[in-house]
Structure 1
C-alpha cells in the first residue's frame, strides 16, 4: 500500500515538473516572438533615417553596417 502511495506521489510531482517546464517554454517562445517582431520593425524603419544623421556619421568617420 505504501508503495502505491509513493508511486502516486512521485507521478504527481513528475507531472507538476513537466507542467512547470512547459510553461517556461511557452514564455520563452512568447519572448522570442516579441523580440523578432521588434527586430523586424527596426529593420523596416531603417529606411526612415534622416539624411542629416547619415552626413553626421560620415563626418565623424563612422560606418553604418546593414544586415
Structure 2
C-alpha cells in the first residue's frame, strides 16, 4: 500500500526523482485502474487515498513478486 499523493510526486517529478520518473504517469496509471478491452490492464485500485493491488490480480502478483522486486 502506497499513498497516492506520494506515488504521484515521485513518478511525476523527473527533476527531483529521476530514478522513479515515468513520462505520462497520470494517463498510464489511470489506464491501470480500468478493466476494459482498450486499457493497459487493471492492476491497481485506490482505497482511502492509498494505491492497493486489485484483489483479482493480487495472487498472480505475489507469485511473480521476485521478478518485480530486484
TM-score (norm 2): 0.22
Q: Which has the higher strand share?
A: 2
Larger Rg, first or second structure (1 or 2): 1
Q: Which has the higher helix share?
A: 1
Higher normalized contact order (CA 8 Å, seq sep 6+, divided by chain length): 2
